[in-house]
Amino acid sequence: MTLDQLEPGRCARVTCWCDGISDRFMEMGLLPGTEVEVVRVAPLGDPIAVKVKNCQIAIRRADATQINIEAS
Amino acid sequence: MASSDPSTPTTTVHATKVRRVAIAGNPNAGKSTVFNLLTGLKQKVGNYSGVTVERKSGTLVGHEDIEIIDLPGTYSLNPKSEDEQIAYDAITSHLPDEDPLDLIVCVVNATNLERNLYLASQILDLGLPTIIVLNMMDEVEAGGTVLDIRLLSDILGAPIVPMVATRKQGLEDLRNLVKGSLPSPGATRWRLDEEVGTAILGLADELKKIDGSLTQKRREAECLRILNSDRLLDYWETRSPSFFKSVKDAREELDSKSVAYGQAEVRGRYSWLGQVARRVTKTQEAAEARKLTDRLDSVLLHRIWGPVIFVVLLLLVFQAIFSWATPFMDLIDAGISLLAGVVRTVLPEGMLADLLVDGVIAGVGNVVIFLPQILFLFFFLSLMESTGYMARSAFIMDRVMRRVGLSGGSVMPMMSAFACAVPAIMATRTMKSQRDRLLTILVIPLMSCSARLPVYTLFIGAFIPAATFFGPIGYQGLTMFSLYIFGTVVAFVAAAVLKKTISGPESFFMLELPPYRAPQWKLVFWRMVERAKIFLIRAGRIIFVFSILLWFGATYPKAELPTEIQSRYTAVETELASLSDGNDDARVAQLEDELLELDNTASAYQMEQSAIGYLGKMIEPVMSPLGFDWKLSAGIITAFAAREVIVGALGTIYSIADADEESLALREHLQNAKDPETGRNLYTPLVALSLLVFFVLALQCTSTLAIAKRELNSWKWPVIMWVYMTGLAYLASLIVYQGGLALGWG
Ligand SMILES: Nc1nc2c(ncn2[C@@H]2O[C@H](COP(=O)(O)OP(=O)(O)O)[C@@H](O)[C@H]2O)c(=O)[nH]1
């Protein structure tokens, strides 16, 4: 499963990364093993707001498809 | 364009400063707030040399010899954009025009320790004297969390000041540390993957050969930075090809062993920081601010209410800059007229007075008049930034804007451009991606600004029938509305096309949604004043030069009046002189009217013979396919200084004193102007439409060019902007006019 498929309000754990995604997401703490929650989806469906390490960041769906997760 | 540009931002040399202190930190950690506390409000805003990144500096209150510099916010020392690169270069003293730093104050948002310490620990690794400010302690406490600050200070090996910057809590401690003896940095203890570690040691040895002055710790830290970042490695390609090659080799070797060296640092650092955060944090609950934020967000980012509220807020801002600013603009206008009047009475009649009044005061007045709009716009923009709503607006609009190659951050600037392109271009500073920002600046002038309004009003009033066709909606209003829509649509199309031609990294979107906070009115106010200052000084200087040039162009060469006009002058003047006071008031008034009319004829004649009139005639062959005769062409040339100038210029050309857009006489002159050869009406509704289309698209505004030059730090893009917009305007008008003729609408 990838991060874009997670429903708002649900938590998951990052498992691994696809190549070619910016390492900035990692530096923001979206690392393998980290707990993430999709807090909400933008009114038009994209981007999505995720909570990671006590902080909310907005990322585009296209990027979220590059992040594999495992629901917890 | 002038090649030597007086507005080039300069970086001042700081020779006499005893200590140079930089403030670093994540965006939104409170750097500006801390910076303002330390420096008071005596700040200098400029640019780093050669780039568009803003440089803010000041001195510690009461200590003129301690310079404080506010660095651009960054999440890590792995730069991804121009401003992050500056932050990195400043911290590592790689900036050629800046003296090395003595001390770094790293502002950390204490509610989000782990992520904020990522940057802090990277800075500590460089081995520079560093003070950590743990900001937002009020929010930490409100969330019921207790932090063991002494333990954290021991672990990091750096002094820590807990602060609530918005309430000045902790300021004295920070001041004492900043002016006290420099702290010596300790070691941060996180573990790097072994293979990567070995590679780093090898590279550090190489680096030692090039620069022996650095400490081993510093060399290792920098090698890690360079190993991870192409951007930083590029710098070495010319500086030391051998070191450049060593890094490339090291990367290849690690790749061949399939070591993910790019992730090694993030993993190592975060697993250590995770432990650190757990050790120093006593309790952990969702912070109170976050709960409030969640409640607000469920309305402000609601599927339906979110966009509705956003649009209403936009309309409010729009309304403010459009109409609330008007009384102030009128006031300034009156002030300028007053000044012009005073100069006229004080100075003897002649060239100097003309140059000052018609050139300088009128030209600079055209700029100053925008000041109220600028102040209003930036008041609202900094308010949105300060409260955290700005990030939400980008979140809501990103999808729509991405369709045309822009991003969520472009919305506010583009909407502001309906008022005026100048503040709108300045508002793009908040955009993170340089490419998106450039693209936004390039299309902003296509949005119909308020300076086009007088032109629209004049030509629509003169040529579009006032009839209504549906309730109160008439053709005139519909035309006006269509012009606005037309400009906006072209802006979107232009963005989609230009996007393909601008190289640069694909727009990278990652936006932090900070908790909502009460605005800091002082900060909002000062940001507004700061922008206004930049606007007046930078754009004003260029306008100053252009207005003088334009004045000369319209005034010289001086025309010899035709004998017919001269003899009429003499006749009227002699009769006036012969009439004694109070004898024949009616006749005097009549003669004075005649004199005024003669003056107008004379100035129209002068215009025709002047350089600009000459130019108008010269470009007439080029413009006639659009339906413009030499008079309209000359008007258009003057309008390249500022659009609304055409109203006054056509007024002069049609010899009507004091023409403005409401002037019926000018409107009638336009309607009744006859072709001297055929005797038919010179201007038809089709010509008017062609002219309106031209004004929607052409970049006729020296202020816009000046500010774009200032913001992009080169003439290249302003020139491209001017060329593509003017080309587009020509093409569109050509299609409208020739198409219209072919359809028999002429
Ligand atoms: N609650 C609280 N808010 C703060 C504190 N310091 C700054 N802020 C707020 O945090 C936001 C970001 O601050 P700013 O100085 O603009 O951050 P910068 O992006 O790092 O320059 C603003 O809304 C400030 O009012 C603090 O100590 N406590």
| Under 8 Å between Cβ of B377 and B319 | no
Q: Which of A22, A24, A53 sits opposite B112 (nearest CB)?
A: A53
Dump pLDDT digits (tens) for B357-415. 877 787 777 667 778 877 887 888 889 888 989 889 889 988 888 888 888 888 878 87
Of the ranges B37-46, B191-200, B297-306, B321-330, the best mean pLDDT one: B297-306
What is the DSSP secondary structure assignment for residue A47, as one 8-state letter?
Answer: S
* Chain-chain contact of B399 with A40 (C-beta, under 8 angstroms): no
- Please state, in angstroms and rounded to a whole number, the distance separating the CA atoms of residues B190 and B196: 13
Facing A55 at nearest CB: one of B297, B396, B512: B512
Nearest chain A residue to B285 by CA distance is A54
Residue with tokens 């672990």: B155
pLDDT digits (tens, 9 = 90+) for B539-576: 666 667 767 777 788 778 887 888 888 888 888 888 88
Pairwise CA distance, residues B448 & B418, whole Å: 5
What is the interface pTM, i.e. ipTM, of the complex? 0.95
Interface contact A22-B396, CB threshold 8 A: no
Residue A27 to chain B, least CA–CA distance (Å): 6
Q: Are strands B130-135 and B160-162 parallel, antiparallel or unpaired?
A: parallel
Judging contacts by C-beta atoms under 8 Å, the chain A residues touching residue B513 are 49, 56-58
Contact B178, B103 (CB under 8 A): yes
If you measure from the C-alpha of residue B114 to the centroid of ligand 1, how many angstroms do you get, rounded to a whole number? 18
> Cβ of B236: how many Cβ atoms within 10 Å?
19
Residue A19's H or E segment, with its range, is none
Q: How far is the CA of B72 from the centre of ligand 1 (A)?
A: 14
Minimal C-alpha gap between A62 and chain B (Å): 10
Cα–Cα dist B66/B113, whole Å? 29
* Mean pLDDT computed over every residue of chain B: 84
Q: Residue B551's pLDDT is what?
A: 77
> Residue A35, SS3?
strand
* pLDDT of B16: 62
Contact call for residues B167 and B94 (beta carbons, < 8 A): no
Specify the amino acid at residue B502. Answer: I
Q: Is the pLDDT of residue B618 over 50?
A: yes
pTM for the structure as a whole? 0.78
Q: Where are the alpha helices (DSSP H) in B579-623?
A: 585-609, 611-623
- B399 to A47: CB separation less than 8 angstroms, yes or no: yes
Nearest partner of A41 among A28, A52, A50, A53, judged by Cα: A50
Select, from the ranges B115-119, B447-451, B545-549, the one with the highest average predicted confidence (pLDDT): B115-119
Answer for the pair B25, B73: CB distance below 8 angstroms, yes or no: yes
Which residues of chain A have a CB within 8 Å of the CB of B307? 43-44
**How far away, in angstroms, is B186 Cα from ligand 1 center?**
28
Least confident of B106-110, B329-333, B392-396: B329-333
Residues on chain A touching B228 (C-beta within 8 angstroms): 23
CA distance linking residue A4 with residue A2, whole number of Å: 6
In tens, the pLDDT along B720-729 reads 999 999 999 9
- B448/B540 Cα distance (integer angstroms): 22
Q: Cis omega before residue B557 (within 30°)? A: yes
In angstroms, rounded to a whole number, what is the distance separating the alpha carbons of residues B726 and B226? 44
The residue segments making up the domain with residue A12 are 3-71
**DSSP label at B42?**
-
Give the C-alpha distances (Å, rounded to integers) separating B9 from B46, B161, B446, B510: 6, 35, 27, 30
How many domains does chain A divide into? 1
- CATH number of the domain residue A14 falls in: 2.30.30.90
